[in-house]
Amino acid sequence: MFFVDTIEVSGLGNRSYLAGGERAAVAVDPPRDLDRVIAAASRRGVRISHVVETHVHNDYVTGGLELARITGAAYLVPAGAPVSFGHVPVRDGDRTEIDSAAGLTLRALATPGHTPHHTSYVLEENGTAVAVFTGGSLLIGTVGRPDLVEPRLTEGLARAQHASAHRLAAELPDETAVLPTHGFGSFCSSSQAEGGDTTIGKEKVSNEALTRDVDSFVAELLAGLDDVPAYYTHMGPANAAGPAPVDLTPPSVADADEIAARLDAGEWVVDLRNRVAFAAGHLAGSFNFEAEGQLATYLAWLIPWGKPVTLLAESPEQLAAAQRELVRVGIDRPAAAATGGPADWVRAGETPASIRRATFADLAGCLRDGVVVLDVRRASERTDGFVEGSLHIPIHTLPRRLDEVPEGQVWVHCAGGMRAAIAASLLDAVGRDVVAVDDSFETAEKAGLTLRTS
C-alpha cells in the first residue's frame, strides 16, 4: 500500500507532496517552512528517505536542501539544473527505490517546458504507475508558463511544454493521478483552471495542451501570458545557490515611537488586518496587505527588494502566520513587529487615519462630480470590460507611478476589493483623498456604470 499526502501552500497557489509506504517516503517540491512536511511524515510514522525537486523554482524559495540536511535524505535534482550545492543528479529514465516493502519506486521522466531541465516523477507500485508528480509541466487543464527563464527561450519552451504533455499522456495509463505543484492560483501557471483531483485520462479530454495542435496551442499560450511578479527575479538564484535555513522566531517588538521612526526612515510598515478594519482606523503611512489574502505574492511583488518591513498584526497568531508566508518568498526577517490595534501603534496625541469604503453603486452616483476612477486590475482582466473614463495602473506598478494619478478624489477599484485596499493605502500614505471600492466588479454595470471593452 502507498499513500500520497498533499501539503497545500494556498497563499502562493502551490502544492507539495509526501508519498511513501509503511517505512519510507519521498518529499516532492517541499516548501521552505519544512516543519509541515516533517509533521506529515511523523503522523505517518515514516522516514523521509528522499527529497526531490521537479525544477529550480521561480516563484518560491524551496525547503528541499534544508529538509534533506535535517533528515539525511538523498536530495534529487534534475541533472540539467544550474545548482551549486551537493545533490544527486537525476536523468531521464532513472529509477529510485523509495520503499522496497511497499514496492514503491520513482521513475524520472524528462518534461522540459516550464524550465529547460524540468523533470516529472512517476510513482510506481510494483511496476505500475499510480501517480505522477508533474511540478510545473502538466497542470489541471493547462501547463506551467514557459517565460520565466529567458525571453529568447520562451517560444521553444512553450513547444516543449506541448511535447512534454503529450509524452506524459502517451506513456502513462489513463488512471494515473496527476499531481502538479502549480496551478491553484500560482502565477507560474499559464492560466487558471478549476478543479481538484485529476488523472491522465481526464487531462486527455480537457487539457489545452492535449486537445490542440502545437501551433495553435503555442500561439494562444504566448498571447495569454500575464505579468510576472517582480520577486520571481530573486527566487531562481536563491534556489540555485541553496537557500539558508529559516528563522521563524518572533521579531523584535516595536513601540509607537520606533514604528514612527521607521516610517520616517522610508521603511515599509505593513498592516496585516483585514481591509474593513484598516479602513476604519490605521496608522497614517502604513500599507494594508491582508494576512488572509495573497500576502506573500503581493507584498513581495510591490515592495522594493530588500526594503526593511515592520509588520502590524491584530494577534501573535496572525503575525506568526504572516511571517511563515513571507519566508516562502525570501522575506526572511521582519525588521520589527507589533500586535494590537491602531491605538497601540500611534504616538501619544496622534489619532488613527481612516479611508472611506464604497460600492460601485456609490461610484455611479458621484461620477458627475469629476472624481478620478483608478482601475488597478491586470491588463488581461481589463480586456473583458472597464469603467468608461477610468485610469488604468495595475497594482504591481502603482508604487512607482503614484505621480500619474491626477489631482482630485480618487476612487480605486479592482475585481473584488483586496487589491483596491492595497492601492488605497498606498495613495492614502502620500496624502491623497482616496475612496476604496470594496465590491465585485461583476456588479459595476448593474450599478449604472458604463463599461467599455476597447
Residues 6+ apart with CB under 8 A from 262: 254, 269, 308, 310, 335, 336
pLDDT of 58-111, one tens digit each? 999 999 999 999 999 999 999 999 999 999 999 999 999 999 999 999 999 999
CB contact set of 112 (below 8 Å; sequence gap of 6+): 118, 157, 160, 161, 164
* AA letter at 309: V
* Whole-angstrom distance, CA of residue 139 vs CA of residue 203: 9
Residue pair 107/127 in contact (Cβ under 8 Å)? The answer is no
pLDDT at 190: 63
Q: What is the pLDDT of residue 194?
A: 52
Q: Look over the chain and give the mean of its residue pLDDT values, rounded to a whole number.
A: 95
First to last CA, the chain: 57
What pLDDT score does 415 carry?
96
370-to-1, 119, 121, 364 alpha-carbon distances in Å = 67, 55, 58, 11
Nearest Cα residue to 123 out of 104, 138, 99: 104
* Beta-carbon count within 10 A of 353 CB: 18
Nearest CA to 270 out of 293, 243, 249, 246 is that of 293
- List pLDDT tens digits, range 250-290: 999 999 999 999 999 999 999 999 999 999 999 999 999 99
The answer, yes or no, to whether residue 193 has pLDDT greater than 90, is no
Rounded Cα–Cα distance for residues 66 and 36 (Å): 13
Under DSSP, the state recorded for 118 is -
Q: What is the pLDDT of residue 260?
A: 97
Which residue ranges form the domains of the chain, and what is each CATH number?
3-241 (3.60.15.10), 256-345 (3.40.250.10), 356-452 (3.40.250.10)
Query: What is the CB neighbour count within 10 angstroms for residue 440?
Result: 14
